[in-house]
Structure 1
Amino acid sequence: MESRQRGNPAGNTNAQVAANLRSARQAIGMDLRTFAERVKETGRAMSPSALSKIENGDRRVDVDDLTGFAFILQTTPAALLAPLEVVSPPTGVPSGQFNLEEIQVWVRGQAKLTTEDLARYWKDEYYSAVSSIHYYENLMMQYEDGREGNTVHRATYEERLASFRARRDAARVRLMALDPDALPAPRDDTADGWA
């Protein structure tokens, strides 16, 4: 006799929610029994066994459960939906087309998964990094002028400056892949020639 399955099988998004749910619960040190009690307080009774099945990906999460879980676990529904790493994209999203950050900002509602919207996002990230670079370069000049003498701050600023330069470069690469005309041509051959 042939067995029938009701509905579609659980997809990648369900697996991501399951992993994020377990991580969020463990991050606040809540056991499954306490979690089940808190879920019951919201009016959605579930046993520890049912919650374990959800965390193992053996049972689906509906949207009402998702919002309740997020509240109980002191996080957001978007955080439970967002992948922590790119293993497989969320259900319905083409594989290999978007990077982890793009999927995360999409889940958080910061950008649509369209070329235009992602180009806008990366352009904003690029210019934000450039602004931060200028800020930290100005701070570094204060230390070079001898007005400030604390080498601890200088080391911290050098780290931040390197981090923002890496962010600028990553944003530039992704933006150029999406829209080669999005940024002006560099003014000179220096690494910071892009304004």
Structure 2
Amino acid sequence: MYNILFAIAAYLIGSLSFAVLVSKLFGLSDPRTYGSKNPGATNVLRSGNKKAAALTLVGDGFKGWLAVWLAQKFGPHYGVDDTGIALVTLAVFLGHLWPVFFRFVGGKGVATALGILLALDPWLGLATLATWLAVAFAFRYSSLAALVAALFAPFYYGLLFGTTDGILLAVVAMAALLIYRHRKNIGNLLAGKESRIGDKKKAAK
């Protein structure tokens, strides 16, 4: 019972789209209307406002961390077990991808996934972040870095906690969803059309 309640709460937390909220706060255009039309930090950066992009990144990461932390901190008192933590992990991520508060139009989940992994275990999150940074620095493709990091996250989890942990299934599902959300980027990468980190973009009006 409480496993489900915590998962519902996590989904609602995940449904807070900081790209949209921060853009409204800064008087910027809705990120769902320009660039990649993805409500995430990378697209908000295309507006030319680095502060708004940074706040979006932190906010989306924090909500993932918060949902899992709350479940870990207070869940055991209500009988929330590893299955409940796994459900919370997946629910907050689904909330970001398909937010109920924003007509189910959400982001790709990179920052939120990182926040979730950091909450599950700091070393897990740091290893995944290091993978993202290494690929991004080497190839200057944010999407490629996210895809490689997503592939390695379940591997890192397995190394740290073994392969019999039910939470691993949630991490695998999250990685699969993140890759699915990057399917257009995968096509652009294969076609050599994907934009690189640092490329100038036309600012949103």
Question: TM-score if structure 2 supplies the norm length?
Answer: 0.28
Highest relative contact order (Cα 8 Å, sep 6+), 1 or 2? 2
| Structure holding more helix per residue | 2
Question: TM-score if structure 1 supplies the norm length?
Answer: 0.29
